[in-house]
Structure 1
Amino acid sequence: MAIHRLVYLLNEYCFAPDAKILMVTFNKTLVNFLKYLYNKLDEEISLSFDALVNDNKDKVKICSIDSIIYGYFQEYKESSGCNLELVNNKTVKYNFINRAIIKLKDKYPKVQYIDLAFANFLLDEIEWIKACNIRKLEEYQSTDRIGRTATSQKDVPQKIAKNSETKKAIFELMQLYTQLLKENGLVDFKDMALIALDYLKENEHRIPKYTHIIIDESQDLTRTQLEIIKLFYNSEKSYSSIMFIADTAQSIYTHSWLVRGRSFASIGFDMTGKSYILSKNYRTTVQIANLAYSLIEKTPEIIEDENFVKPALIDKQGPFTRAKNLSK
């Protein structure tokens, strides 16, 4: 659908010299998949994907959100003389979170989670805080986390009480962990996104603006990522448009923002009367779709989401399927 939308906008709403389209996907793999889908479109669209982009290179940009973040992080480094390097190695991150826990443990003796045994839980919570662009303790204290993954680890909380000593301790741990990284010339991916966001806000007059933005797989994006994309939107034209394409049943990232009923208003968009539900499933056979639904219908986190849509099946038959070894 995103590719069809791109072609439609290019042909119908991009005649002005400054009219441009930005299509953003979650990662590089999806960029390649969009190319594959475009090349499978009906023969009536005679342009190849490469021709579409190259012939309109001044009007169309297709990229992943990660490439936007990384590009502006590099620009920030060059302009500021900063030498921070991205840390992707989990072992290195756990080394720093463990050091932060040891430093802070004695300050919060009554907070049981400030302990090396909960390093995985604490690192995930810290990355969620950053993904939500939460900068102040007061905001963290008053914010409910939505979408936390259930864990088999004993005593790990599914919910942290608001305005609690636990949240205060975790927030301070985040600050200490981030400080230790920076003292060693490192930054994690969530902080890289925050740095890119701040840099873009400070240099908004230099940001290329797009008349139309298409955001594919928007259910997987964090609040920070969505706020970055928003900075590229030129809403001044009467025909400007921003399109979010999402399937909440496919949301697998615990740091995503648009989950469990969070509205677009939370990121500054009024979508009242502007959304469309696409319920027909053309991708799979009736048998596969029924099997898939049987696996998620007992998952309240998905079914109870107000944006969840039960698929309406078309008469596309296939062999019956069996699920095996789902516990592995």
Structure 2
Amino acid sequence: MELDTVQKKLVLSKQLGINLLKGKTSSGKTTAAVHRAIYLKNQYCLYEDDKILIVSDSNKDIQTAQIMYNKISSESETEYSTLFSKREDNLSFYSIKEIVYKYFNLNRKKNKYNIISDTEKINIISKCLHDVKKNYKNIKFLHEKYTRFFIDEISWIKCCNYTTLEEYQNAERTGRKVKKGEGPSRIFKNSNTREAIFNLMLLYNEILEKSKSIDCEDIDIIALEQVKTSNDKFTHIIIDEFQNFTKVQFEIIKLLLYRKAYFSMTLVDNKDISLNRNAWFIKGKKLNRIGVDGKIKTYNLKNTYKSDLELKTNIKSETENYEDRYSIETFEYHDIRHNRKFNFIRDINDICDVIVKEEDKEYEYEKDELRELAVYNDIAAGEPILINSDIENKFYMPKYWLKGINDCFILKVKGESMIGANIFDGDYVVIRKQYSAQNKDIVAVEIDGSATLKRLSISKEGINLMPENSRFSPIPVTDDGTNIIGIAIGIIKGK
């Protein structure tokens, strides 16, 4: 696609610092941003530590930008190159989720957290409401029927990283739309209402802290604190779909900026779309609040390009079949009860984003159609090992796979004693929690504080836990110190 005058001004601009690129859908924003990245790579990456980051709000958008870069770079590389151009690729593409989870997981190595579910969040907020409304009897809407309203408002406060009542009391709360009957249409500054909501959040946070639990907004805040200790830096950063970033997410990106004399940050703003209700730079909010020194140069794209739309459509068809190895996990679920198999994928950064593949069709499940299962590490398919009671992860599975099962969880397998039953080292086994079992069931058993996975064998000679591998010996069962934890009803295999 031939660049128009405004696009060329941005791409070839020698003014560094902060640039804002605005335009509607298919106005050529991403195309211009990719050309700008190639220009910066060749003109303003002077030293070995000079790097460029392109970041977007979603995996699909960043995949689109990366494929677009591959298409454009081979055609335009020589157009922007100089004697000082570096041959090696010093340009990185990440979604904000990938960046957040990278730094969150670095922190998680030192601190174990339990990430609460929506159901747990609702229960905690309901409990906190009961306590808070005792001190604010004149505020009528402090009622459990508005729990979703309070959850959303606390989410916004956390996404803005407001840690004091004064910050929240004076914050411009625009952009929130509340339907009649779902909560107050407006929350005034410096009001008792805001004070009550803030104290509700403090009590909610206190309960989470006591149980070593966090919510999704805490993940971003933890990542922000971790970035402050990192040496990862980029001389040039391009933020695509800038309008969807929260304040905390933008603060993370700011900390990654290497403020050399020739640094630059390009903000790409889609004027048509704002998908994040917790976004910081909503309509009407001034850009001088981004907290970056210097003048902001604005470029407005007013044309619409069919060729750009076609290019993105072609790229979209490629990204639908493109599984980024850092963000997509593929699994096969073996339903032991009904002898069925299902293939499904999930986003590693949003594990409740589940798509099930059946024959030539794909079915994307809403969160209320999924069931959340805790994952524990480890259970031995070999010699018994000590039980680890900490929840290491969570899996979301379609509810109909587990129809009729009231209480179940997942254990990660370690060892090879059950390979004859198609259970291998590293597999996940879905366990129905119960304290009795039938002959030939595959059971999870606690033996003197350790756990193992075996097939139950009941005969005249006695009761044994039988391996499905001739290299391992049966384990005799005695009454003392042996307890059935549950029986295996399914196997999850990574692909």
TM over 0.5: yes
Amino acid across the alignment from 1:263: K
The alpha carbon displacement at 1:284 in A equals: 8.4
The 1-side partners of 2:306 and 2:122 are apart by: 41
Residues 61 and 163 of structure 1: is their aligned pair in 2 closer, same or farther, counting only changes over 3 Å? Answer: same
> Do residues 29 (structure 1) and 39 (structure 2) align?
no
Counterpart check, 1:142 vs 2:170: yes
User: Residue 63 of structure 1: SS of its match in structure 2?
Assistant: strand
Match of 2:186 among 159, 163, 167: 159
Which structure ranks higher in relative contact order (CA pairs < 8 Å, sequence separation ≥ 6)?
Answer: 1
The more displaced of 209-218 and 181-190 is 181-190
Is 1:168 matched up with 2:195?
yes
For residues 269 and 263 of structure 1, do their structure 2 counterparts lie closer, same or farther at Cα, with a shift above 3 Å needed? farther
Residue of structure 1 aligned with 2:112, choices 83, 90, 99: 83
Q: Which residue in the other structure is 2:101 paired with?
A: 70
Which amino acid in structure 1 is aligned with residue 279 of structure 2? S
Say yes or no: does 1:193 pair with 2:224. Answer: no
TM-superposed deviation, 1:128? 0.5
Provide the C-alpha distance between the structure 2 equivalents of 1:273 and 1:24, rounded to a whole number of angstroms.
19
Match of 2:138 in 1: 110
Aligned partner letter, 1:76: N
Output the aligned Cα RMSD: 2.4
1:3 is the counterpart of 2:30: no
Provide Cα deviations, 1:168-219, integer angstroms capped at 9, x if missing partner.
1100111111222233332112111112212333x2xx32111101111000
1:41 match: secondary structure: helix
Give the letter for the 2:253 counterpart.
Answer: I
User: How far 1:273 moved relative to its partner?
Assistant: 5.4
Q: Which residue of 2 aligns with 1:228?
A: 252
Tell me by how many angstroms 1:46 deviates. 7.7
Given that 1:265 and 1:271 are in contact with CA atoms closer than 8 Å, whether structure 2 keeps it comes out as: no
1:86-131 Cα deviation digits (max 9, x unpaired): 33x3222212211221222222211222210110111100000111
Maintained 8 Å contact 2:227/2:256: no
Rg comparison, structure with higher value = 2
Contact 1:149 1:254 (8 Å CA) reproduced:
no
> Taking structure 1 as reference, are residues 155 and 33 closer, same or farther at Cα in structure 2, changes over 3 Å only?
closer
Q: From the superposition, tell whether residues 18 and 284 of structure 1 become closer, same or farther in structure 2 (CA, over 3 Å).
A: closer
Conservation of the 8 A alpha-carbon contact between 1:84 and 1:182: no
Q: Report Cα offsets for 1:271-313 as digits up to 9, x if no partner.
A: 645111111111589xxxxxxxxxxxxxxxxxxxxxxxxxxxx
Quote the Cα distance in structure 1 between the aligned partners of 2:296 and 2:99: 30
What letter matches 1:132 in structure 2? C
Match of 1:267 in 2: 290
State the AA in 1 paired with 2:231: I
Name 1:242's counterpart in structure 2. 265
Q: Does 2:154 align with 1:126?
A: yes
CA contact (8 A) 1:28 1:64 kept: yes
Is the contact between residue 22 and residue 62 of structure 1 (CA under 8 Å) also seen in structure 2? yes
Whether 1:210 and 2:214 are equivalent positions in the alignment is: no
Letter of the structure 1 residue corresponding to residue 199 of structure 2 = E
- Number of residues of Structure 1 aligned to a counterpart in Structure 2: 270
Aligned letter for 2:91?
A: V
Query: How far off its partner does 1:258 sit?
Result: 0.9
Q: Is the 8 A contact 1:26 1:65 kept in 2?
A: yes
Cα–Cα, structure 1 residues 60 and 41, in superposed 2: closer, same or farther, change >3 Å? closer
**Aligned equivalent of 1:317:** none
Contact 1:248 1:259 in 2 (8 A): no
Further displaced range: 91-100 or 159-168: 91-100
Q: Deviations over 1:62-85 (max 9, x none)?
A: 11111111111121222xx32113
Between stretches 159-168 and 12-21, larger displacement belongs to: 12-21
Secondary structure of 2:301's match? coil
Report the alpha carbon displacement of residue 226 of structure 1 after superposing the two structures with TM. 0.6
Q: Distance in 1 between matches of 2:249 and 2:296?
A: 25
In the alignment, the residues of structure 2 paired with residue 96 and residue 244 of structure 1 have an alpha-carbon distance, to the nearest angstrom, of 38
More strand by share: 2
CA distance in 2, matches of 1:73, 1:38: 28
- Which segments of 5 or more consecutive residues in structure 2 lack a partner in the other structure? 1-31, 79-86, 309-495
Q: Which amino acid aligns with 2:99?
A: I
Pick closer, same or farther for the CA change 1:262–1:56 going to 2, 3 Å: farther
Q: Deviations over 1:120-170 (max 9, x none)?
A: 11110000011111110011011121210242x416222111111111110
What's the TM-score, normalizing by structure 1?
A: 0.76
| Cα displacement (A) at 1:45 | 4.5
Distance (Å, rounded) in 2 between the aligned partners of 1:38 and 1:241: 19
